[in-house]
Chains A and B, each alone.
Chain A
Amino acid sequence: MVEPLFFKESFVKRHEKGRKLKAEGKLLMGLTCTYIPEELLIASGAMPVKVSGSLGGTPRADSYLPVNICSTMRSILEASLKGDYDYLDGVIFSNSCDNMGRCFDRWKLHLSYSYLHFFNTPHSKTSNAFKRYLYEVKKLKKSLETFLKVEVPEDELRKAINLLNEERLLLSKLYELRTEDPPLLTGVEAFYILAYSITYPKEEVLKSLRELVKEPPKLRSEFKDRPRVLVSCSIIDNEAKLISMVEDSGGIVVVDDTCTGTRYFEGLVKTSSPPLEAIAERYLNKVPCAFTQHGEERFAYLKELIKRYHVEGVILYCVKFCDTYLFDAPMLMEELKDIGIPATLIEWSHVEAWWAPLKTRVEAFIESLR
């Protein structure tokens, strides 16, 4: 049986694990975004690792980035400059937002990974966008094959598709455990399950997820009758403080709309279509991030989550200077108001000085939901 705490403990040790794997000859590749198809990495023998930055100051990154760049990309740059990701063989960026796309230049200039690739993700999903995504998939495949000196046969791609589809299904099943009252997993626990899944070898991830699905945590009555909260944002900080603040204030996070949550696993790759086309189709049509042209679909998806998870309040956690989420926020707030769901917009940053007032705001919001 696997305890929820296992995932947190493993995630905390992710860099040690990465170094160990590297020493064993494994090839590890960092990813900045959920729009980069992990299938290609797995099929070519590389292990995908979603990169993230920690809370706190970013003195190294600050010497290259002006003040008005988001703290998500700043903190990832800091982590790399500091050597946290010294075990990665390379990093793949995505054309997701200006903050991410433009920070790629800092990596080209100030870091010395032997492999840096830019995945030119479209922001729409027209037939032209599909052609473009497919072109990028083929380009990434070729680029990995050249770098790793391998050839990726179709059956390896199919295996990778099946493996990731299984991971997606398992994560969906675990999320289902949160639809009940009390939810069988807290928001913090669910966060670490995801955080672990996107930073550990998939074989280990599948094994732990299968066990947890088979034997989920016991019902804990202390989580019953708490205000049920959905958090929506780009990412959750990697100490899950944004979620802890809700749960320490007496609420419970029952679902999320984040890149470190549902946006990672919702939507399967079709196994009946040719692999590369199927991959392109899944990633282009997955639950959209705010950087895409499909804001309305995201809003509709959120409303669906609100129903399915019996959500009573929504917190929009926008990272300071994250244009795409900040732009969506007023429209989303209005839509939530129209369906009678209380919501609050809270801007945050990885800089610690921000956190004391945030906690007060979260407490006040949870109090208002009681």
Chain B
Amino acid sequence: MIARSSRARGLEITKGFFKNYVKPYFEGGHKASKEGKPVAWVFSTFPVEIAQAFDVYPIWPEQYACIQGAFKVSVKCCEVAERKGFSKDLCSYARNTIGSLLRPEEAPLGGMPRPSLILAASTSCDTHLKWSQFLSKMLKVPYFYLDVPYNVFGATKEEVEEVYVELYVAEIERLIDFLERCLDTKLDKNSLKKAFETSAKANDLWMDIMELRKAIPCPMGAEDAWSAVFFILAAPGSRLAVDFYTKLKDEVASKVKEGVGVIPEEKYRVAWDNLPPWFNLGFYDYLKSLGVVVVIETPTITWAGRLDPSKPFESIAKRQLTIYSNSTLEFKMRLFDDLVKGYSLDGFIMPTNWGCRFMSVDNIDMKNYLRDRHGIPGLIIELDATDWRYFSEEQIKMKVESFVEVMAHRRKFR
């Protein structure tokens, strides 16, 4: 039995999340694949609702890589990919999944369920294009890449260029045509409506939960959010997602009502701007031992968002075009402004994720921005989401201690 990376959970519903939700979800994928039902590997920021309208079972390779990290097999799998010629500097999620295919005996949960399609979008990063294409070539599986403009001046949903929205919608139409051809079926308008309505509900619930985290003390920390975000990413257009988030919202709301926080004495409220070290989720326990609660994470709050099911294509186009990973510094500044105020933050933890350019590139400018605009500290630490060879725990802990001192000092003189 492999020792998994674990941490203390604050919520009842996320206790046993892997066993109760993740494992069955992947088993469902294996079952669908065996029965010849369509399974798609869907990469982040892809409008998965469209695939769900075709009754496709979505599997997220990134989430699988997180599981590899949590199971502490990620470095072994990365090394397999490196021996194949993939550089150590590339995204470790990509190296992980490639390694798991080349060496299936190292792969938890019996590996990723065999796909019949691979779907990726330009709204995340270069890696997603190259990685997804490599996988489709390796497995000889039909491939779709949704290619849309970059939100270069960080426009909001309201400001995004009309032509860009039209281009996004045109890509959705191309996607529908692709799915119809691959699956030899026609899109059922009712299924599409249902997928979007369900997704809109799940997204509303998730955004409500994110709102509830603004409460002091915070009812739900990062240690729970990193798990709970699973369905909003993998299968937002499913009943499963709505049921799970309904229960989660109830639990979080009751904590807020009772004034129960993540820890008995919440001293510092911080945001986390990047991915977590999946192989060392106990790091959040360490933060809590210092009275630090991660009350919000930029990926969890920005990779979801409210949808208008009455205008499904336009609404998803506007949301995805202006998503965190497709937007520039102006977006981030606005987001940080909202988070600092809305979540009453004392500081930001901003990891530089070794294999990830877009999530790391703004760190220095944003750290300066937080200091100059909001007078709060940003802590830059170096790590990689699943490759612990880039994680020096002792060094990071020293930095965290100084960071806590700065927050304490600031509080004294505020």
Residues in B with CB closer than 8 Å to A321 are 89, 357
- Chain A 317-332 interface 0/1 with B at a Cβ cutoff of 8 Å (1 = within): 0101101101111110
A129 an interface residue at 8 Å Cβ cutoff? Answer: yes
The answer to whether B357 touches A323, judged by C-beta atoms less than 8 angstroms apart, is: yes
Residues in B with CB closer than 8 Å to A345 are 85
Expressed in whole angstroms, the Cα–Cα distance for A106 and B171 within the complex equals: 30
Residues in A with CB closer than 8 Å to B129 are 123, 291, 293, 324
Residues in B with CB closer than 8 Å to A69 are 357, 360-361
Residues in A with CB closer than 8 Å to B145 are 123-124, 293
Residues in A with CB closer than 8 Å to B163 are 135
Residues in A with CB closer than 8 Å to B21 are none
B127 an interface residue at 8 Å Cβ cutoff? Answer: yes
Given contact pairs A66-B360, A104-B152, A323 touches B91 in the complex (Cβ within 8 A): yes
Residues in B with CB closer than 8 Å to A68 are 89, 352-357, 360
Residues in B with CB closer than 8 Å to A120 are 149-150, 152
B44 an interface residue at 8 Å Cβ cutoff? Answer: no
Residues in B with CB closer than 8 Å to A131 are 167, 170
A173 an interface residue at 8 Å Cβ cutoff? Answer: no
Q: Among A104, A128, A329, which residue has its beta carbon within 8 angstroms of that of B85?
A: A329
Tell me which of A45-53, A95-103, A155-163, A190-198 binds B: A95-103
Residues in B with CB closer than 8 Å to A105 are 328-329, 361-362, 365
Kindly report which residue of chain A lies nearest to residue B149, judged by CB atoms: A120
For chain A, the count of residues having a C-beta within 8 Å of the partner chain is: 50
- Chain A 133-159 interface 0/1 with B at a Cβ cutoff of 8 Å (1 = within): 001000000000000000000000000
Chain A nearest CB, measured from B35 CB (Å)? 31
The answer to whether A128 touches B130, judged by C-beta atoms less than 8 angstroms apart, is: no
B133 an interface residue at 8 Å Cβ cutoff? Answer: yes
Residues in A with CB closer than 8 Å to B167 are 128, 131-132, 135
Q: Which of A67, A103, A123, A318 has the most CB of B within 10 A?
A: A123
Chain B nearest CB, measured from A294 CB (Å)? 10
Q: Among A102, A290, A331, which residue has its beta carbon within 8 angstroms of that of B134?
A: A331
The answer to whether B147 touches A123, judged by C-beta atoms less than 8 angstroms apart, is: yes
Expressed in whole angstroms, the Cα–Cα distance for A326 and B125 within the complex equals: 14
Expressed in whole angstroms, the Cα–Cα distance for A122 and B123 within the complex equals: 12
A248 an interface residue at 8 Å Cβ cutoff? Answer: no
Expressed in whole angstroms, the Cα–Cα distance for A126 and B152 within the complex equals: 22
Q: Which of B89, B127, B328, B360 has the most CB of A within 10 A?
A: B89
Residues in B with CB closer than 8 Å to A109 are 329, 365
Residues in A with CB closer than 8 Å to B125 are 98, 323
Chain A nearest CB, measured from B270 CB (Å)? 19
Expressed in whole angstroms, the Cα–Cα distance for A70 and B352 within the complex equals: 14
Expressed in whole angstroms, the Cα–Cα distance for A306 and B265 within the complex equals: 68
Chain B nearest CB, measured from A233 CB (Å)? 14
The answer to whether B126 touches A323, judged by C-beta atoms less than 8 angstroms apart, is: yes
Chain A nearest CB, measured from B309 CB (Å)? 24
Given contact pairs A66-B352, A328-B130, A128 touches B174 in the complex (Cβ within 8 A): yes
A118 an interface residue at 8 Å Cβ cutoff? Answer: yes
Q: Among B86, B354, B356, which residue has its beta carbon within 8 angstroms of that of A327?
A: B86
Within 8 A of B (CB), among A333-355: 333-334, 345, 347
Expressed in whole angstroms, the Cα–Cα distance for A219 and B147 within the complex equals: 48
A108 an interface residue at 8 Å Cβ cutoff? Answer: yes
Expressed in whole angstroms, the Cα–Cα distance for A341 and B84 within the complex equals: 18
A65 an interface residue at 8 Å Cβ cutoff? Answer: yes
Q: Among B91, B147, B150, B361, which residue has its beta carbon within 8 angstroms of that of A293?
A: B147
The answer to whether A64 touches B365, judged by C-beta atoms less than 8 angstroms apart, is: yes
B335 an interface residue at 8 Å Cβ cutoff? Answer: no
Kindly report which residue of chain A lies nearest to residue B170, judged by CB atoms: A128
Expressed in whole angstroms, the Cα–Cα distance for A262 and B382 within the complex equals: 38
Q: Which of A101, A104, A295, A321 has the most CB of B within 10 A?
A: A101
Chain A nearest CB, measured from B48 CB (Å)? 20
Given contact pairs A324-B126, A331-B134, A129 touches B147 in the complex (Cβ within 8 A): yes
Expressed in whole angstroms, the Cα–Cα distance for A6 and B137 within the complex equals: 46
Expressed in whole angstroms, the Cα–Cα distance for A104 and B330 within the complex equals: 12
The answer to whether B357 touches A329, judged by C-beta atoms less than 8 angstroms apart, is: no
Expressed in whole angstroms, the Cα–Cα distance for A97 and B125 within the complex equals: 8
Expressed in whole angstroms, the Cα–Cα distance for A132 and B146 within the complex equals: 13
Kindly report which residue of chain A lies nearest to residue B354, judged by CB atoms: A68
- Chain A 65-107 interface 0/1 with B at a Cβ cutoff of 8 Å (1 = within): 1111110000000000000000000000001011101111110
Chain B nearest CB, measured from A110 CB (Å)? 8
B358 an interface residue at 8 Å Cβ cutoff? Answer: yes
A272 an interface residue at 8 Å Cβ cutoff? Answer: no
The answer to whether A330 touches B90, judged by C-beta atoms less than 8 angstroms apart, is: no
A63 an interface residue at 8 Å Cβ cutoff? Answer: yes
Q: Among A63, A67, A101, A330, which residue has its beta carbon within 8 angstroms of that of B150?
A: A101
Residues in B with CB closer than 8 Å to A327 are 86, 90, 94, 126-127, 130-131, 134
The answer to whether A330 touches B84, judged by C-beta atoms less than 8 angstroms apart, is: yes
Residues in B with CB closer than 8 Å to A347 are 87, 89
Expressed in whole angstroms, the Cα–Cα distance for A105 and B87 within the complex equals: 27
Chain A nearest CB, measured from B305 CB (Å)? 22
The answer to whether A329 touches B87, judged by C-beta atoms less than 8 angstroms apart, is: yes
Expressed in whole angstroms, the Cα–Cα distance for A295 and B361 within the complex equals: 26
Provide a sorted-by-A list of 13 A–B residue pairs whose CB atoms are within 8 angstroms: A66-B363, A68-B352, A68-B356, A95-B149, A98-B358, A101-B150, A102-B357, A291-B126, A320-B89, A321-B357, A334-B85, A345-B85, A347-B87
Minimum-distance CB pairs A-B, first 5: A330-B85, A327-B130, A105-B329, A124-B147, A102-B361
Q: A124-B147, A324-B126 are in contact. List 20 more A-B contacts (CB 8 A).
A: A63-B364, A66-B361, A67-B352, A68-B352, A95-B152, A98-B361, A102-B328, A102-B362, A105-B361, A106-B365, A118-B153, A123-B129, A131-B170, A293-B129, A318-B87, A323-B90, A323-B126, A323-B127, A323-B357, A327-B127
